[in-house]
Structure 1
Amino acid sequence: MTESLPAVSRTAVGVAALRAYESSRPDRLFDDPYAAAFAEAGRSALPAAGEGLGALFAQQVAIRTRFYDDYLLAAGCPQVVVLAAGLDARAFRLAWPLGTRLFELDLPEVFAFKEAVLAGRDATPACERVVVPADLRDDWAAALRAAGFDPGVPTAWLAEGLLVYLSREDAEKLLSAVSELSAPGSRVSFEHRKTETRDSLFARANATPGAERVTRLWLGGLGDAAPDWLRGHGWEPTVVSRAELAAEYGRPGEETVDGFVTARCQSSTLR
């Protein structure tokens, strides 16, 4: 089932396997009851790199998933958009407020795989879920609008594990479209990665045997410039490090300087 998935989309199977592992822990930071099914169905796409690759990303995925779960629920926005949704199952596993409408955007090939697995589990969304097959390199904003998205309504945007796979130019183009579609009070969140520091995830990944099958796909996104870019485009950003979150979640030992940006839209550039 995974043979038709692009290389970047196949990494979602590995992430699902790590979410399944975290969900099996007695001290789990979240519970994803669909992750194991995705990992099993996509087994042929899982890397054979062994423990080094899994150990490198397991803590990162656990903290990231929990942080974004909390962010989306706390945002209090009636619309949610998950960009490059991959095998995200938040529409099914989180306790959404009544009236929430959640849009998932990704490639048609990804949804062909994902919907088959969900159907096999008789999965029922906990909110109104709208699937939008679209290529983020094309006019995805038009596809989103056509699917019923209302740019006049505050929206919580999530770009989980996405921007690192984009060049700076493409990352700015994507976030510019998000800005144009965002009403005041909207939120956006994504990873904040530092590529030049010795203890960044980028540096640690490059030193891990087997990780090159993932890191060769990384183009860097906005890098350190994300907070400044957001301020210049009508957003008020805040940054938190994974080390801070690891301590808060009872998972000490996370030393990386990487973290997450969350921003609130102060003014709309909607045209």
Structure 2
Amino acid sequence: MTETHEQWDITTGVGLTALAVASARAIATGSADGLVDDPFAAAFVRAANPPRPMPTGPEDAGDDEMWAAMSAYMGLRSRFFDDLIAGSSAPQIVILAAGLDARAYRLDLTGRDVYEVDQPRVLEFKQQVLDSLNARPRCRRHPVAADLRDNWPAALESAGFDRSRPTVWLAEGLLPYLPARAEEELFEIVHARSAPGSRIGVEQVPGGDVESMDRMMRELKASERVGIEMDGLLNTVPRRDPATWLRAQGWSVKAEAADEVAAGHGQVFPAYLNHTMAKAELTTADLPA
């Protein structure tokens, strides 16, 4: 019997976290020292009508500690994955749990195929907003409506993915929401479908300690302030280290702490993040050609 998984839209469950991330990108986009330029982020937030008001720029966020921390981290995270794509010539890009990612529209990816894998209702909402803006992708864009806990590889290949071509895979803002075994299976699936010359980008909470992220979100009162229901949202079961596993499979791996990446851009994270996401591991893995 096929297991039935919970579905969500952009204002419920994990979808609401994607909306909060878009809000943080909108703040970073409007900030003088922001590391990301996402002209679509604010439009997503406005169109969603979230259960709690979310900023659409720095003027809305003011001096709020939570949004200052989120915009600093999410701006840096977005820039890291942007640079990871730019540093590879792989002809296809797969964004796992794409959420409100707009790289297909805001980055010049001419001649490349971008596959966005996420829940059907999340992709539908994103498409509606982009269409309302008359936005056009700067690549060949392929929405893939699939749950990462189900047979998403079949949906990906049905959309045109070619495992014989090098691929850039992005696992950004994803791993803490997956059960441990589902995370391990995801990397096994990705490895099996990666041609030589492929690249993987991974964001992992400090040391794989998902409980630290859960504590941070509770301390920031994400449930009360943003409407995110924390109970059962993150999966805190211990899991293997993806960087160690990828090395064992022949990948060349570079892992950096987020605050080290920020320092490379001349930025210092808010002190609030020092013991949580400032130490998140941003990892690049390359499969030799």
Same topology, TM > 0.5? yes
Work out the CA distance in 1 between the residues paired with 2:104 and 2:46: 20
Q: Which amino acid in the other structure matches residue 259 of structure 1? A: E
Contact 2:36 2:76 (8 Å CA) reproduced:
no
Which residue does the alignment assign to 1:59? Answer: 72
Q: Mark the CA change 1:90 to 1:83 in structure 2 (over 3 Å): closer, same or farther.
A: same
Residues 90-140 of structure 1, C-alpha deviations (whole Å, 9 max, x = no match) = 0000122x4211111111111111110000000001111111111111111
Which residue does the alignment assign to 2:257? Answer: 241
Q: Mark the CA change 1:12 to 1:141 in structure 2 (over 3 Å): closer, same or farther.
A: same
Q: Are 1:153 and 2:165 matched, yes or no? A: yes
Q: Mark the CA change 1:4 to 1:154 in structure 2 (over 3 Å): closer, same or farther.
A: closer
Q: Are 1:261 and 2:283 matched, yes or no? A: yes
Q: Identity over aligned residues, as a percent?
A: 38
Q: Mark the CA change 1:78 to 1:196 in structure 2 (over 3 Å): closer, same or farther.
A: closer
Work out the CA distance in 1 between the residues paired with 2:155 and 2:51: 29
Q: Which amino acid in the other structure matches residue 89 of structure 1? A: A
Q: Secondary structure at the match of 1:158?
A: strand
Q: Mark the CA change 1:262 to 1:191 in structure 2 (over 3 Å): closer, same or farther.
A: same
Structure 2, unpaired ranges of 5+: 1-7, 55-60
| Alignment size in residue pairs | 262
Q: Mark the CA change 1:259 to 1:123 in structure 2 (over 3 Å): closer, same or farther.
A: same
Q: Are 1:143 and 2:155 matched, yes or no? A: yes
Work out the CA distance in 2 between the residues paired with 1:145 and 1:184: 18
- State the superposition RMSD in angstroms: 2.5
Work out the CA distance in 1 between the residues paired with 2:99 and 2:148: 13
Contact 2:208 2:239 (8 Å CA) reproduced:
no
Determine which of 64, 78, 92 is the counterpart of 1:79.
92
Report the alpha carbon displacement of residue 45 of structure 1 after superposing the two structures with TM. Answer: 4.2
Structure 1, unpaired ranges of 5+: none
Q: Which amino acid in the other structure matches residue 24 of structure 1? A: G
Determine which of 123, 127, 131 is the counterpart of 1:115.
127
Work out the CA distance in 2 between the residues paired with 1:101 and 1:227: 26
Q: Mark the CA change 1:101 to 1:221 in structure 2 (over 3 Å): closer, same or farther.
A: farther
Q: Mark the CA change 1:221 to 1:246 in structure 2 (over 3 Å): closer, same or farther.
A: farther
Work out the CA distance in 2 between the residues paired with 1:236 and 1:205: 33
Q: Mark the CA change 1:145 to 1:201 in structure 2 (over 3 Å): closer, same or farther.
A: same
Contact 2:117 2:143 (8 Å CA) reproduced:
yes
